[in-house]
Chains A and B, each alone.
Chain A
Amino acid sequence: MKTALCLALLCSTAYARSTDELVAAGTPEQKAQAVLDEMGHRNAGWRDFTADVQMSLQDPSGGNAERSFTVKLLEKGDSGDQSLIVFSSPSDMKGTAVLSHASASGDDEQWLYLPSSHRVKRISSGNRNGSFVGSEFSFEDLTSADARKYRWQYTGQETCGTAKCLVLSAVPKDASSAYSRRVIVVDQELRVSRVELYDRKAQLQKTLTYADWQKVGRYDRARTWTMKNAQSGKATTLHFSTMKLDSKYVAADFGPDKLGN
């Protein structure tokens, strides 16, 4: 399995296909699938990722709030990635940890550690669509979405800077998703540069922009994520620092028993 993965990675690096090639032929669905496959190849194999994140909440009346946390991600491929978020501010959330196991089928699982009670609690994962700690991000927006949960279409190109970007549309198969549709804009390097999120009434609800790209290992990672709510005027920015890959974490480091330890 590992060999196969490495081979696939080698192939994709050696014969990286340009964005034009990917959408040269086929139905809109096939073109979208070709783009997704290539993105998947380029993005696989990172194993684990850690970063410190500064979260800034702005509302149109000028109010501001800051939160900070560290995030650790474990790549699990088809079975769904796992994430561990530990807050360092605000002070009443310091040490609070949220562990999440994504699942390709069924529901995600989540656990919460509260330092004041020294306890790990299993929590319902029904809040994937709700606001994450008061921000414009939902938990679903923060974690990598499983591409298989959507019906994809290639819808054309748009100008981004001096180059052309590919535009994909994703409609969730699961009717309980908060969004009726996402529009994903992919740049020449096959990086997602913008995501538009449409609500259940098909109105643009939020726009997520990725910027300040940095190489972490051989992968491109955005240091700045900005989520603007088109309806409320509020915005949340995430600044990533000290990004790091391959700290050699194993599944046990992302088990509920490990929380708070």
Chain B
Amino acid sequence: MSDSVPIWLLVLTTLAGCAITKAETGGLVAADGRVFFLPPKYPGQEYGHGVSLVVDPRFGVDIRDGRHKLMAEPFYRLDPVDDRRSHADVREASYKLAYRGGKLGLGVGQLAWGVLESFRPTDILNQTDFVEAVDGTAKLGQPFVEGGWGNGKVTITAYYLPYFRERTFQGIHGRPRGAVAVDTNHPQFETALKQWQPSGAVRVAVHAGGVDLGIALFSGYSREPRFILQLGDLSVSPRYELMHRALADIQWSKKGLTLKAEGFFCIYSDALILFGGGGGGLDYTFFDIGKGVDLTLVAEVLFDTRPDNAPLTFFKHNVFGGVRLAVNDRGNTELTAGAFVDFLDGTTWGRFEAKRRFGERWQVAASVNVFFGQQGTIPGAFNRDHYGQLRVAYLF
């Protein structure tokens, strides 16, 4: 036994011996300092100033010219104010194989759908990591098995998602949040399988004639919960329900202009709620407006016809306007500003961010988020939670 070669060593040496095996590390560790400009308005909330720490490294191994790929991205945030914001996740831990147009993948991963810049109503495979980003851009790792085939013009992918991830929510001390902290300890599910209720999806992506078109079907738990008020202790529990959804996205570009649209139609089978939503817009880039600086303007419209007994959304009738300035200097300086405005009730959510790399490894990012609106709207619920954040990151 002692002189037999362990099988894993054989596998490792075989992999390492392949002509092209490439290992890459990436990601970052960061300190995020947050300052809230106004005192909190809900019971239990703390003022919220503090520095939280983020560990978000990435590892990748490419074997045989990328035919086999291993990826890993653990994530952890330690927050001094909100114990719900202190959380760990596996963003990615996957194996992917691509061979002659066929593809296979399994593990935990980030399966991103949707094309819009401001918010993507069709990005529904991964659960939103809401404590990480209230704009829905951070996603929890989704356990998946995928298989597909493509020829460069048409790609068909089938997904089997064996496990459901619950949305993260700010705790009692946390900001920004709504009037009542969501009780994530007592989630409700429509089926007895609870988190083990599988989801499935099929997507056909066509890329032809300068147009990217995607059509997909999804069936499984809605990643968006409804909120159930518990009359006993007046707490709010998330409830996850089965949903079937058809979606499409399309984009086209010419010179500096890109046109985009995405939309969906869905049915919540239990309560027989039907609605649709989506959005469209354009971005236009003025290249080299001086000293190599590129200016991009973004204009988008978001709409959603959901009734009041469906899960809440921020974006029922909004316009988004945004500006991005890429300075293209040594430190890759980038300035972005944008605002969602509800064109019916005028509620507004604005944000600004500036970031730059210093030297080879350090990056500094400063951002401000502001929320204006009447009570009863989501930005209105946050309307004392304007905050500024300074991130100092070390890049691997």
Residues of A within 8 A of B (CB): 50, 63, 65, 88-95, 106-107, 109, 115, 117-127, 129-131, 133-134, 244, 247, 249-258, 261
Contact = CB atoms under 8 A, between A and B. Distances in A.
Nearest to B258: A124
B285 A126 contact: yes
A126 B212 contact: no
Interface residues of B, number: 55
Contacts of B287: 126-127, 129-130
Contacts of B205: 256-257
Contact of B98 (A94, A95, A122, A253): A253
A95 B212 contact: no
9 contacts: A89-B360, A90-B357, A95-B58, A106-B210, A127-B285, A130-B288, A252-B103, A254-B152, A261-B96
Kindly list the 9 A-B residue pairs having the minimum CB-CB distance in the complex, ordered from nearest. A251-B152, A91-B395, A118-B110, A252-B101, A126-B256, A126-B255, A252-B150, A94-B26, A247-B65
A120 to B, nearest CB: 7
Nearest to A66: B360
Contacts of A122: 115, 212, 251, 253, 258, 260
Contacts of A123: 253, 258
Contacts of A247: 20, 65
Given A91-B396, A107-B255, A255 B152 contact: yes
A124 B251 contact: no
A49 to B, nearest CB: 12
B103 A261 contact: yes
Contacts of A254: 152
A124 to B, nearest CB: 5
B353 interface: no
Contact of B254 (A63, A88, A107, A117): A107
A257 B148 CA distance: 11
A36 B112 CA distance: 44
Given A89-B360, A117-B112, A124-B283, 4 more contacts: A107-B253, A124-B285, A257-B205, A258-B98
A110 to B, nearest CB: 8
Contacts of B45: none
Contact of A115 (B58, B157, B207, B330): B58
A93 B331 CA distance: 11
Interface of B: 20, 24, 26, 58, 60, 65-66, 69, 96, 98, 100-101, 103, 105, 110, 112, 115, 137, 139, 149-153, 155, 157, 205, 207, 210, 212, 251, 253-258, 260, 283-285, 287-288, 292, 294, 328-330, 332, 357, 360-361, 363, 395-396
B159 to A, nearest CB: 13
Contacts of B357: 90-92
Nearest to A261: B96
Contacts of A261: 69, 96, 98, 103, 105
Contact of A124 (B110, B157, B256): B256
Contacts of B258: 122-124
B253 A134 contact: no
A200 B367 CA distance: 41
Contact of B24 (A95, A119, A125, A133): A95
Contacts of A258: 98, 103, 150
Contact of A131 (B152, B210, B292, B395): B292
B153 A251 contact: yes
B259 to A, nearest CB: 10
B210 A107 contact: yes
A129 B205 CA distance: 30
Contacts of A120: 112
A250 B151 CA distance: 8
Given A134-B292, A258-B98, A261-B69, A109 B110 contact: no
Contact of B330 (A107, A117, A125, A134): A134
Contacts of B100: 250, 252
Contact of B255 (A88, A125, A134, A249): A125
Contacts of B58: 95, 115
Given A95-B26, A252-B151, A109 B210 contact: yes
Contacts of B20: 244, 247
Nearest to B101: A252
Contacts of B330: 63, 65, 134
Contacts of A92: 332, 357, 363, 395
Contacts of A251: 101, 151-153
A122 to B, nearest CB: 5
A118 B139 contact: yes
Contacts of B254: 107, 124
